Structure 1
Amino acid sequence: MFPRDQWYKLGLLLYMLVWFMGSFWMGGMIKSGAIVHWLGVELRAVEEYVYYALAGAIGGTLYAMRLFHAFYDQISDRWILWYLLRPIKCAGAAVMTIVLFQSGIMLLQTGTSMEAKIGIAFLVGFGYGKLMDKLKVLTETLFNGNNEKTSGDQPPK
């Protein structure tokens, strides 16, 4: 039998595969019209945002699977939560990033097509850490007036 940590790793791999393949499957089911309601929500009203979330989850999961492969022998209990939350955080970040682009708060020269936005959402999921760094700088600039570390993230001096 596998040692305990091997079972965790197998479970993580299956979890990521379900997210990865399930996101493609869900997008196809919505596009085909096979799923029109999900958790009490009519998907037609939020269909675009569901696609962005799914693309972000695909990007985040792909990145996580790449790291899972590269650092398989170094995975510890500390990283399990990172792997479990990665697709969820990336899906949310992808949707909100598209909203920030559409609102004009963040600027990017791309087409207005759905494919371009889905591509951006995928890149947001794949580059989630870098996006969070940029959003932190943006919020510090918008709300502090400068880029000093005076936010609630730092302990008081």
Structure 2
Amino acid sequence: MNDMTSTAAEVRLEEDAKSAQTPDTRDVSRAKPGWIVITLLSLYLLLYLAGAAAAILSMCLGDLEGRWAALRVGLMCAAVGAVGGCLYCLRAVYLNRCVRKTWTNEWAAWYLIRPIVSTCCGGISFLFLKAGLLVLESGTKSDASEIGFYALALVAGLNVDKFVAKIEDVAQAVWGIDQSRTRKDASPTEKPAKRQAGAPEADAAGPSESSAVTGGSPSAE
């Protein structure tokens, strides 16, 4: 009886030793940083950035003709906003993967959509400046320089959440349009939520880029 007990114990010890030498494949797969996804997202962002830069260069050289020439500043603002969004996302990739090592593929959709949203915000910034609803400098509206338009478009592309919040404030003050449900639900006195692993810094606590960051991931700037 004692021999059988000792034999069973030895078998269990051997099995434990083998399992210790062979790591769990599920843990290994979870530990992988998702290089394929990172590579594809980086290529997408670089191509988007190159396209925006090429568009800016083309418009600066005066390639727009006819009816499109009248839209040059607005299109430039959209392209500059795209540049800001791509820079934001590229910085997020290397911060999450290389610096903080908190990359997760769950945020892949965010990296795909964010540059598009930044492009739209860049174009919208032109509309609000042109309408005089946003002012670049005190007492300056109609004679604002094009550089000021582009600077605001870049900021709008970099920090979408703050820009959208500003637009909502303007809409409420001018037309009485109430704030969106997202802003209503966000309590200004509420403490920042803990950042999710791999989440862009700005979006650490959810969809709002104005959330404070306690750890690391792309930036809310």
TM-score with structure 1 length normalisation?
0.76
What whole-Å deviation, never above 9, does each CA across 1:54-102 have from its counterpart, x for those lacking one? Answer: 1000011111111111112433333111111111111111111221122
Residues 18-27 or 70-79, more deviating: 70-79
Pair 1:122 & 2:150 matched:
no
Pair 1:57 & 2:82 matched:
yes
Q: State the partner residue of 1:23.
A: 52
SS of residue in 1 equivalent to 2:133: coil
Structure 2: any 5+ residue segments left out of the alignment?
1-31, 186-221
Q: State the partner residue of 1:14.
A: 43
Q: How many residues align?
A: 144
Contact 2:136 2:148 in 1 (8 A): no
Letter matched to residue 90 of structure 1: S
Letter matched to residue 123 of structure 1: V
Q: State the partner residue of 2:29.
A: none
Structure 1: any 5+ residue segments left out of the alignment?
none
SS of residue in 2 equivalent to 1:75: coil
Pair 1:98 & 2:108 matched:
no
Contact 2:33 2:103 in 1 (8 A): no
- Structure 1 or 2: larger helix share? 1
Q: Aligned ranges for residues 26-45 of structure 1 at < 5 Å?
A: 26-34=55-63, 36=65, 43-45=68-70
Select which of 107, 113, 126 maps to 2:145.
113
Q: State the partner residue of 1:88.
A: 116
What whole-Å deviation, never above 9, does each CA across 1:37-56 have from its counterpart, x for those lacking one? Answer: 9xxxx532321111000100
Change in CA separation of 1:23 and 1:74 when aligned onto 2, cut-off 3 Å: same
Contact 2:133 2:170 in 1 (8 A): no
Change in CA separation of 1:116 and 1:152 when aligned onto 2, cut-off 3 Å: closer
Letter matched to residue 127 of structure 1: N
Change in CA separation of 1:7 and 1:89 when aligned onto 2, cut-off 3 Å: same
SS of residue in 2 equivalent to 1:71: helix
Pair 1:143 & 2:177 matched:
yes
Q: State the partner residue of 1:5.
A: 34
